Amino acid sequence: MRLMDTNLLSVILFTPLVGAILLLFVPGRLANAHRWIANLFGFAGFLVSLPLIGRFGAGAPGFQLREDYDWIPSIGAKYSLGVDGLSFVLVLLTTALGAIAILSSWSAIQTRVKEYYILLLLLQSGMLGVFMSLDFFLFYVFWEVMLVPMYFLIGVWGSDRRLYAAIKFFLYTLVGSVLMLLAILRIYFGYMSEHAGAYTFNIQALLESTKSFDPSLQQWLFWGLFFAFAIKVPMFPFHTWLPDAHTEAPTAGSVILAGVLLKMGTYGFLRFSVPMLPEATKHYAWLMMVVSVIAIIYGALVCMMQKDMKRLIAYSSVSHMGFCTLGIFALTPMGLQGSILQQLNHGISTGALFLIVGVIYERRHTRLISEFGGLSTPMPNYATIYLIITLSSLGMPLLNGFIGEFLILRGTFEVTGIGSHPANGKYFAAWAVAGIVLGAAYLLWLYQRVMFGKVTNPANEKLPDLNVREFACLVPLVLAALWIGIYPAPVLRYLEEPANAIVQRVNPEYFSARAARVPVEVAAPAQPPSGASEHSDLPPAAPTR
C-alpha cells in the first residue's frame, strides 16, 4: 500500500504487466483460469487507477504525481512519469475500457486463450505508458511496444483478411513512428547544442528549448512528428489502414483500437507537436483544419455506402476524430477542451458501438447489415442500449457527443485568423456542422436497417437478448455517456488547465485580443480566464456575447 502512495502511476502502469507475466506461468489448457485471472487484473487495473481521482488536483498547472528514476544515464533517458489533466482523463479512459474489453472477450475468444489475454494485458500497459511518460525516449519505447500485441490481436484472432489488416496496421504506424524518432533525435540534439552538450529527453526541458528553434526547423520537425500522429489519429489521407484494422480485429481489439489507440495520435499532437513547435503549428493550423473538415465530411459520406457494420463504424471514427483534430488546431481554449472531451466521448461511444456489433457478431458470425433487420423484436434490451449509444455518437443534446461537438464548433467559430493566416473559423464550423448532419443520417439509417421493421431473416427470430456479462460491459458506458451529457462540469474541470496552457503557449494573441475587447479583463491579461465549472455546466460564454 505504501507503493500506492509513492508510486501510484507505476502501480497503474505495471498492474496489467504483472497479470501478463503471471498468465505466462499458467498452463495453456486451463482456459477458464486464464479468463478469470485476466479479468481480475483488468478490473484491478481499473481499481488502482481510481485513487488518481482523489490524488490528482484539477486546475493545478504542470504535471502531478511525478516519478523520476535514472534509466539510461549515458544517453540521458529517464524513467519519468506524470499526469496532467489531459493524460489524467486518457489514463482513466484506458483503464476503464481495458477492463471492459477484457470482460467482453470471455466467450468470443475460444482459441489460444492464454496468448490472447497476455497480449491484451501487455497492450494495456503499453498504452498507459504512452499517456504517462514525461520522457521522450520512454514515450517512444511505449509507443512502439504496443504495436506488437496489437499486431497479434488482429493477426491471430481477427476475421478473414486478418493477416493483411495486421501487417498494414503495423507498417503504417511504423513508418510514422520512425520519422518521429528522427524528429525526437533532432530535438534532443538541438537541446544538446543549446546547452553546451548537456543532454536530456525530459519533455519539459525540451519544451523550453524548442521554442527558440528557428521557424524553418520547427516546420521540418512539425512534419516529422506529424506523420506519426496523423497516421495514428488517423487524419485524412492517412486513414486507409483504419477500416481494415478495425473491421478485421476481434471485438475487444476494435474497442481498444477505436477507444484508446486513436487517442494516442491526438494526445501526441496536444503533448508534443502543438506546444513544442508553436511557430510551425500556427503556420500550418489552417491546413490541419482543412484536412480535419475533409475527414469529417469524407468519413461521413463513406459511411453511407458501407455494407459491413464494423466498417461503417470504423469510417465513422475517421469522421469523429476529424472533430478532435479540428478542435486542436483551432487553438482556442474551448476548441481544445472540446477536443479532449470529444476524445473521451469517442472512446465511450465508439467503444460501445463496437461492443454492440460484437454482441450480434458472436450470435450470427456475420456483420453484414443486410443479414439483419427487425432485431428490436427479439432483443428489446439490446435495442434500447444501442439506441442510446447511437444518439450519443451522433451528438444528441443531453448525451456526451453533443457537449464535445458543441465546444469544438464553438471554439472553431471564434477563430478569426491564426498566425499570419486569415483562416475564418465560421466556414470551418459550417462545414463541420454538415458532418454532424451526415453523421445523424448514417447512424440512424444503420439503426433503422438493423433494428426496425419485421424480422426478415429467419435466423434472427430467436436471437437471445443481452446476457449479464454483456450488460456489465455496456451499462457503464451508457451511464458515462449520460453523465457527461447532462453534467460535464466535473470532467471539464480537469481539461481547462491543460487547454489554457496550450493556448497561452501557442496562441497567446487569443487572450490578448479578448482582453482588448473586454476592458474588464485588462486587469489580468496574462492570466487565462478560468473557472468554467464555477459558473455553469457549460463553459463560460465569452463576456462579449
Partner 1 sequence: MVQDLLSRLGMQLPKEFALILPQVQLGIFALGILLTDFLLDRKSRWWNAVLALAGVGFSGKALWNLRNLEDVSAYHSSIVVDPFAVFFGFLFLISAALVILLSVRYLEIEDEHHGEFYALLLLATIGMMFLATGSDLITLFLGLETMALSFYVLTGFLRHRKASNEGALKYVLLGAFSSGILAYGFSLMYGIGGSTNLARIAQAYAERSPGDPLVLISLVTVSAGVFFKIAAVPFHMWAPDVYEGAPTSITASISVASKAASFALLLRIFCTAFWPIRPNWEMVVAGVAVASMTIGNFGAITQSNLKRLLAYSSIGHVGYMLLGLVAGTPDGFKGIAFYLLVYVFMNTGAFAIVILLRREGVIGEDIEDLNGLISRRPVAAILLLIFMLSLAGIPPTAGFIGKYFIFLSLIETGHYVLAVFAALYIAPALYYYFRVVVHAWMREPGGAARPTISVAQGVALAACTLFILVAGLLPDRFINFAGTTLQSQFLQMILR
Nearer to partner 1, 114 or 514 (CB): 114
Nearer to partner 1, 195 or 517 (CB): 195
Q: Least distance to partner 1 from the beta carbon of 507, Å? A: 29
- Distance (Å, whole) CA 313 – CA 243: 9
Q: Looking at 169, 170, 241, 315, which residue binds partner 1 (CB under 8 A)?
A: 170
**x-or-dash pattern for partner 1, window 188-227, by CB under 8 A?**
xx--------------------------------------
3-state helix, strand, coil in the chain (%, to 5): 75, 5, 25
- 174 forms part of the interface with partner 1 (CB under 8 A): yes
Angle at 126 between CA 494 and CA 77, to 5 degrees: 90
- 18 forms part of the interface with partner 1 (CB under 8 A): no
User: What b/e string do you get for 248-272 counting C-beta neighbours within 10 Å, with b at 16 or more?
Assistant: bbbbbbbbbbbbbbbbbbbbbbbbb
For partner 1, the binding residues in 21-80 under the rule CB under 8 A are 71-75
Q: Least distance to partner 1 from the beta carbon of 90, Å? A: 21
Nearer to partner 1, 174 or 301 (CB): 174
Per CB under 8 A, which region of 169-177, 382-390, 417-425, 524-532 contacts partner 1? 169-177
Q: Looking at 44, 58, 181, 205, which residue binds partner 1 (CB under 8 A)?
A: 181
Q: Least distance to partner 1 from the beta carbon of 144, Å? A: 5
- 179 forms part of the interface with partner 1 (CB under 8 A): yes
| Count of residues interacting with partner 1 (CB under 8 A) | 30
Q: Which of 408, 421, 419, 429 is nearest to 509 (CA)?
A: 419
> How many residues in total does the chain contain?
545
Contact of 289 with 326, CB cutoff 8 Å: yes
Q: Least distance to partner 1 from the beta carbon of 186, Å? A: 5
For partner 1, the binding residues in 132-161 under the rule CB under 8 A are 140-141, 144-145, 147-148, 151-152, 155-156
DSSP type of residue 37: H
- 175 forms part of the interface with partner 1 (CB under 8 A): yes
3-state secondary structure of 434: helix
Nearer to partner 1, 155 or 335 (CB): 155
Nearer to partner 1, 144 or 465 (CB): 144
For partner 1, the binding residues in 401-440 under the rule CB under 8 A are none
Task: Specify the long-range contacts of residues 509-515, CB closer than 8 Å, at least 24 apart.
Answer: 510/331, 510/332, 510/333, 514/542, 514/544
Q: Dihedrals φ, ψ of 308, to 5°?
A: -105, 130
Q: Least distance to partner 1 from the beta carbon of 195, Å? A: 15
Contact of 151 with 169, CB cutoff 8 Å: yes
Distances, alpha carbon 57 to alpha carbons 8, 27, 60, 85, 500, in Å: 14, 43, 6, 9, 16
3-state secondary structure of 71: strand
- 449 forms part of the interface with partner 1 (CB under 8 A): no
Q: Dihedrals φ, ψ of 79, to 5°?
A: -90, 95
End-to-end, the C-alpha distance of the chain in Å comes to 51
User: Residue 198: is it exposed, middle or buried by C-beta count within 10 angstroms (0-12/13-18/19+)?
Assistant: exposed
Q: Least distance to partner 1 from the beta carbon of 113, Å? A: 13
Nearer to partner 1, 106 or 188 (CB): 188
Instruction: Take residue 278 and report the three cell numbers written for it.
Output: 508553436
Q: Which of 41, 122, 134, 42 is nearest to 84 (CA)?
A: 134
Nearer to partner 1, 14 or 152 (CB): 152
Torsional sign, CA 152, 156, 162, 163? positive
Nearer to partner 1, 78 or 263 (CB): 78
Q: Least distance to partner 1 from the beta carbon of 12, Å? A: 19
- 489 forms part of the interface with partner 1 (CB under 8 A): no
Site residues, partner 1 (CB under 8 A): 71-75, 115, 140-141, 144-145, 147-148, 151-152, 155-156, 163, 167, 170-171, 174-175, 178-179, 181-182, 185-186, 188-189
